[in-house]
Amino acid sequence: MAHRWKNDLTRDDVTPRALWLNRRQLIAGVGAGAALSLTRQARAQDLTPNSLEQISSYNNYYEFGVDKGDPARNAGGLVTSPWTIRVDGMVDRPGDYALADLLSGLATEERIYRFRCVEAWSAVIPWNGVELADVLNKVGVGSGARYVAFETTVQPDVMPGVRSRVIPFPYVEGLRLDEAMHPLTLLATGVWGQPMPNQNGAPIRLVVPWKYGFKSIKSIVRITLTDRQPPTTWNRLNSREYGFYSNVNPEVDHPRWSQASERQIGGGLFARRQPTLMFNGYGDQVAHLYDGMDLRENY
C-alpha cells in the first residue's frame, strides 16, 4: 500500500555509520565484546554510556512504586513471555500479535542515545530494538491516521503501584505520526545487548530520544493508530506541567525542575551539571518536524 510518510533521513544521517551493528555482529558480540565496541562508538560521539547497573537501578515505573529503587526491587514478578500486543485503530492489518511475530524479519538496531528525564537527570543508554516505523509499516498505517497511541500492561497482582493507585493506570502515551515514523524513534527490547530489564520496561518499550523520558512508555501491550491526538498520562494529570509534545527544551522550564541543565546519573552527588541541549541534541534530525510551531505553546 502507499504510505503518505517518507523519511528523508537515511540511517547514515541519524548516526555515524560506525555506530551500526548488524544483528549477526550483535549476537556474536554479546557480552564483553559488544560492551567494548559500544564504548568505542560512544567515545566517537563524546558520550559516556551509563552501566547496565546504573540504567537498571534508578528508574521511573510508577506501576512498581514511586521511589527510584522501587522498580528494581518490585518488577521481578512481571511475566514478559509470552507477550501479546494489540494493534488496532486505523491500521491495515489489526490484530493481537505475539511479540515475536510482530518483530520477525525486522532489523534489530543498537543505538546509543542521550536520555533526559524532566526531573533534570540524564543518562546515556545503549539500546537494542527496532525502528517503530518498521513495525508500523508492517501492520500498515491506514489512510487518515495522524497519531499513534500506546498503552502499558496493567497487572495489579504484580504491580504494587497499581494496587495503591499512585496515578491512574493504564499508563498511556502518544506521538504524532511523523514523530512515530522518524528513524530515531525505537521500540527497544534490550540494553547493552542484554534483554530489557523488567524495571526498564520489558519486554518492549518506546524510546524517543528528543523528548523527555516520560514519553518513553514501558511494557507496551497496545498500539493504536488514530486521527485524534491521544491522551497521555502526565498531560491528563497536570496539563500545565506536561504537554503532549514534551520536546526537550532548555528554554521552557517545568514549574518544579529547571530544564536548563542536567546531571548524568552515576556520577555521584558532585557530578558536573551539563547544559541541556535543544531537542536533547537531536535538533539537526528533528527540528523540521516542528517548523512553524510555537514550542512554548506546544511544550
Closest to ligand MTE by CB, 90 vs 187, is 187
Q: Is 218 in the site for ligand MTE (CB under 6 A)?
A: yes
Choice from 216, 226, 235, 280 touching ligand MTE (CB under 6 A): 216
What gap in Å lies between CA 160 and CA 274, rounded to an integer? 35
Q: Is 196 in the site for ligand MTE (CB under 6 A)?
A: no
Question: Residues 105, 165: contact at Cβ < 8 Å?
Answer: no
Closest to ligand MTE by CB, 75 vs 87, is 75
Choice from 97, 127, 147, 171 touching ligand MTE (CB under 6 A): 171
Closest to ligand MTE by CB, 15 vs 60, is 60
Strand partners, 125: 113
Question: Per this entry, what is the length of the chain?
Answer: 299
Contact letters for ligand MTE, residues 90-129 (x by CB under 6 A): ---------------------------x------------
Helix (H) or strand (E) holding 139: helix 132-139
- Per rule CB under 6 A, count of chain residues that contact ligand MTE: 14
| DSSP assigned state of 159 | -
CB-based closest residue to ligand MTE: 213
Distance of CA 66 to the CA centre of its chain: 19
Nearest approach, Cβ of 53 to ligand MTE (angstroms)?
Answer: 13
Nearest approach, Cβ of 147 to ligand MTE (angstroms)?
Answer: 18
Nearest approach, Cβ of 193 to ligand MTE (angstroms)?
Answer: 16
- Supply the Cα-derived Rg of the chain in whole angstroms: 18
Q: Is 87 helix (H, G, I), strand (E, B) or coil?
A: strand
Residue entry with cell 568505542: 40
Q: Is 59 in the site for ligand MTE (CB under 6 A)?
A: yes
Nearest to 112, CA basis, from 181, 35, 27 = 35
Q: Which stretch binds ligand MTE (CB under 6 A): 21-29, 61-69, 83-91, 244-252?
A: 61-69
Q: Is 222 in the site for ligand MTE (CB under 6 A)?
A: no
Q: Is 280 in the site for ligand MTE (CB under 6 A)?
A: no
Residue entry with cell 506546544: 298
Q: Is 152 in the site for ligand MTE (CB under 6 A)?
A: yes
Nearest to 72, CA basis, from 232, 201, 256 = 201
Q: Is 18 helix (H, G, I), strand (E, B) or coil?
A: helix
Distance of CA 255 to the CA centre of its chain: 23
Q: Is 290 in the site for ligand MTE (CB under 6 A)?
A: no
Q: Is 72 in the site for ligand MTE (CB under 6 A)?
A: no
63 φ/ψ angles, rounded to the nearest 5 degrees: -60, -25
**Interacting residues with ligand MTE (CB under 6 A):** 59-63, 117, 152, 171, 200, 213-214, 216-218
